[in-house]
Structure 1
Amino acid sequence: MLWKNKNEFTFEGKEYEAEDTVTKCLEESRRWTEVVAAAKVETGARNQRPRDGKAWTVPENGRVKCNIGISWSKATCMVGLGWIVRNSEGDTMLHSRRDFNGVSSLLEARRLGLIWAAESMNSHKLQKVSFELEDYELVGSVNRPKAWPAFQLAEWKVSSVKRVANKAAFMIARSVTKERRYQSYVAQGSPSWLRSLLAEEDMRSIML
């Protein structure tokens, strides 16, 4: 809420009373705790569990896939985030990276990553998006429409995957925490330093 309010103040000139912000934070925290607890119980749901050892696959025709990478440092409370969007032909359309400071937990980092990626897809006018990230509990929470209605967009899907299917996005995120690449960006096409990996994943996807 603080991050979103800061952005709205910076870019739109909107101001919020401190008391209103605190109230909203407390309400979101309560709902989030309830949703996560419920998601842990529903361990049998198909879209909660990551695909066991399955490599990256192209999205179905007419959709794009946005893989979200999160790399969090407990020592510095810094998180590196990255996303990469590919189409049904396996071609990279867009990729992005940014960092956040003062992130106190991996759960908070993952939630921040999903919100940031969703807002990015919205700003780029991408509607039929399949999101993938490494957190089955968060995915299970988002996919509960009654408990978490804010994320229920008709043409968006969210799924959990293991690292083998999310490697490119994770490496973009890790470049912040491990290689200290702090400059944020959004770029078209494939990142040059990941082209061999992306080509390999595309080839494997064709063979599946």
Structure 2
Amino acid sequence: MRLTGDATTADNGLIARRERWSPPLAGSIKCNMHTNWRNSLLHSGAAWIARDCAGNVKFHAGEALTPSPSKFFSELRGIIWVLQSARDLRIMYLVLASDHHDTIEAISHPNQWPRYRNLLEQIHSLRTCFNSLQFEVEKIECNLIARDIAKSVLHDGRFQSYLALGGPAWLHERLNREATGDNY
């Protein structure tokens, strides 16, 4: 588990923490993912965006997940969907990043989460499809693009699952700023 961010010196000489998206190592793909869960009666919007070490967007996807009893359950289902998608796209070196800390903690320590055993076993089984798979806890500020895509699934009525090359046109400017490190 890895938290992302970097330290910079503020004008007053103090160290300030500036959070921004961090790329994966060369040869790997980083998938930022998020599920937008509202309540146990409604669909969840799920999304992921895959970028290389230069910040170039390779793919992004959106999905409406059937109602889930909790945010945690929805996040685990979202991770399974991302792993299945990455496997089908033959991505062999993957970093999966989520801003939902408990989900990454459960994947790292599944015995402490017996209620979710079935979902965690599915994730564990999917791990074998990759040459390298890492899970990262991402700060919310570093995961805003995946969050915005997930929100758009429900807000814009995009209940049809989709996979697209590149990033969504309405986010190109933000994606370019993140790729160049010029977020601020």
Q: What TM-score do the two structures reach when normalised by structure 2?
A: 0.77
**Counterpart in the other structure of 1:193:** 170
**Counterpart in the other structure of 2:83:** 118
Q: Does 1:105 align with 2:70?
A: yes
Q: Does 1:173 align with 2:142?
A: no
CA distance, structure 2, for counterparts of residue 64 and residue 78 of structure 1: 28
Superposition pairs of residues 1-208 of structure 1, within 5 angstroms: 47=1, 54-74=19-39, 76-144=41-109, 150=124, 152-153=127-128, 155-204=132-181
Q: Unmatched 5+ residue regions in structure 2?
A: 6-16, 113-119
Q: CA RMSD in A?
A: 2.6
Give the CA deviation at 1:90: 0.8
CA distance, structure 1, for counterparts of residue 151 and residue 183 of structure 2: 27
> Given the superposition, is the C-alpha separation of residues 92 and 74 from structure 1 closer, same or farther in structure 2, using an over 3 Å criterion?
same
Task: Please tell me whether Structure 1 or Structure 2 has the larger radius of gyration of its CA atoms.
Answer: 1
Give the CA deviation at 1:76: 4.2
Q: How many residues align?
A: 161
> Given the superposition, is the C-alpha separation of residues 53 and 177 from structure 1 closer, same or farther in structure 2, using an over 3 Å criterion?
farther
Give the CA deviation at 1:145: 7.6
> Given the superposition, is the C-alpha separation of residues 181 and 145 from structure 1 closer, same or farther in structure 2, using an over 3 Å criterion?
closer
CA distance, structure 2, for counterparts of residue 181 and residue 187 of structure 1: 13
User: Would you say the 8 A contact 2:40–2:67 is kept in 1?
Assistant: no
Q: What TM-score do the two structures reach when normalised by structure 1?
A: 0.69
Give the CA deviation at 1:50: 7.0
CA distance, structure 1, for counterparts of residue 40 and residue 134 of structure 2: 33
CA distance, structure 2, for counterparts of residue 105 and residue 126 of structure 1: 29
